[in-house]
Amino acid sequence: RVEALFAKYAAEYKKKKKKAAAAAAAAEKPEKEKKKPQGEVRPPQLVVHREPEPGRGSTSMFCANGAMLLARVSPPRPEHEMDCDSDFAIGSFIPSPCNRSLEYHVLDKLGEGSFGNVYLCSMSSIYRGYAPRKVAMKVLKNNSRHLKHAVFEARALEVLSRAFNIAKPVFEREKQETAIVPLTSEDMSEFETPFLEYFDSFVFKCRPCIVAEFIDMTLLDMIRQTCDGGSARGGQSVWGDHRPGLPLEVVAHIGEQVMQQMVLMRLLGIVHCDVKLDNVLIRSAPDGEPIWKVEAKLADLGCAMFERDPIHKHVQSRYNRSPEAILGLHPYGCAIDMWSIGCMFVEMATRQPLFQSVDELHQLNVITSMLGPIPFEILNDAVIRGRGERILDFYEKLVIVE
């Protein structure tokens, strides 16, 4: 059934993409545009914005790829001085080094974490007078580890957006000029943009910035607001009952969209590595549609990696961590995301993690208590890879208790 699902959605999106490309080619006449040589692949271009140095007039430096970027960026000031938020204060304007006609006006601070901050910005054109549109700007901290994550996240967002987010032909747009500004999913019909729209990525004041589509609510926020005890209707559930989590119909509707995105990510060999309620963004149902007709999109690809590429060893949040990740059986595949999705579905319906624990050994204990013992082949592989001491400690305590 899983393979049939892969084949179904892969064929569906390939057909949509081919049809949209043919319609766009028939409508547009690129006479002035220079055609790229066949087979040429555009590198993930990033721009480093730096303060002017004595004897140099330019403040921007273009890099062809992430490796070159990491090699050439050396902050002129200590990292703790560069991590201040004064350059991204509310009301400030940030020019786009990649597209000099665009600038970002910081409107609000949406959140912060160990990686950095997320800001709500208004993306507008300086010269062409386009209507501003709201976007989310993720600003990471100034160190090499976060810079590596930013390079991969920007590249993954761009690849997924360009591969599977299908834009309408030009003749269906309101004006020809709007083709210059990237479209958001508000301009598309349902499921034509399964992934977040990618707009821009650059380094400003020695801090990596990624600009993507703005969605104002996470799946965790939705559960807290709409379920029993939430902020809506004086603490009563909007679903008409006293269940702690979402109805199964809503879980199935959101889960289908997340599974579609997982299928498409697997086609490109991308592993998310951090699927949880906080990393699923929810757009409210359109006017006239049932309240459960929401749109769900996976977000935060900072921990993502290509399948069979051991770029990260410690992945996933503990409650949603798969046995392979606990035992350190990397390189990981898309199977660890499927484990996290299953755990997330249960938490959506019950508001309680399926496997609650205090550490990794306790996590293994909870998993084996519910699902049975871990297969010997997996344990043997873990011992070979150097995780044998932890496994022996776990089973020694388990035998003593029993």
- Residue, of 243 and 174, whose pLDDT is higher: 243
Give the list of residues 6+ apart from residue 52 with CB closer than 8 angstroms, or none: 58, 59
Express as a percent the part of the chain with pLDDT over 90: 21
Q: Is residue 112 part of a domain?
A: yes
Q: Which residues pair with 298 in a beta bridge?
A: 280
- Binned at pLDDT 50, 70 and 90, residue 31 comes out as very low
pLDDT at 131 over 70: yes
Do 276 and 174 fall within a single domain? no
Do 268 and 177 fall within a single domain? no
Nearest to 391 by CA among 318, 324, 336, 343: 324
* Average pLDDT, integer, range 64-70: 40
- Binned at pLDDT 50, 70 and 90, residue 29 comes out as low
Sign of CA dihedral 179, 182, 187, 190: positive
* pLDDT tens digits, one per residue of 266-306: 998 899 989 999 999 999 887 777 777 889 999 988 888 88
Nearest to 316 by CA among 347, 345, 268, 278: 278
Euclidean distance between CA atoms 333 and 273, whole angstroms: 9
Quote the domain boundaries for residue 92.
Answer: 42-213
Give the Cα-Cα-Cα angle 123, 128, 132 (nearest 5 degrees): 25
Nearest to 369 by CA among 378, 377, 361, 381: 361
Nearest to 285 by CA among 318, 257, 320: 257
Q: How far is CA 250 from the centre of its chain?
A: 22
pLDDT at 81: 41
Euclidean distance between CA atoms 262 and 280, whole angstroms: 12
pLDDT at 11: 76
Q: 116-121 — which CB contacts under 8 Å span 24+ positions? A: 116/140, 116/141, 116/146, 116/207, 117/85, 117/88, 119/88, 120/214, 121/94, 121/211
Express as a percent the part of the chain with pLDDT over 70: 67
pLDDT at 370: 92
Give the Cα-Cα-Cα angle 375, 367, 315 (nearest 5 degrees): 90
Euclidean distance between CA atoms 164 and 180, whole angstroms: 19
Domain end marker among 186, 213, 240: 213
Domain end marker among 154, 189, 213: 213
Q: Which residue type does 177 have?
A: E
Euclidean distance between CA atoms 275 and 341, whole angstroms: 7
Q: What integer best gives the mean pLDDT of the chain?
A: 74
Please check if 138 is assigned to a binding site. Answer: yes
Do 64 and 127 fall within a single domain? yes
Euclidean distance between CA atoms 42 and 36, whole angstroms: 10
Do 224 and 192 fall within a single domain? no
- Residue, of 46 and 218, whose pLDDT is higher: 218
Strands 217-218 and 295-298: unpaired
Range with lowest mean pLDDT among 3-17, 62-76, 95-109, 329-343:
62-76
Do 155 and 270 fall within a single domain? no
**Strands of 280-283's sheet in order across:** 217-218, 280-283, 295-298
Do 227 and 191 fall within a single domain? no
Number of domains in the chain: 2
Q: Is residue 197 part of a domain?
A: yes
pLDDT at 74 over 60: no
pLDDT at 330 over 70: yes
Are 137 and 209 spatial neighbours (Cβ–Cβ below 8 Å)? Answer: yes
pLDDT at 217 over 50: yes
Do 198 and 239 fall within a single domain? no
Do 261 and 206 fall within a single domain? no
CATH value at residue 113: 3.30.200.20
Euclidean distance between CA atoms 126 and 93, whole angstroms: 11
Do 252 and 133 fall within a single domain? no
pLDDT at 252: 93
Chain position carrying tokens 């002017």: 52
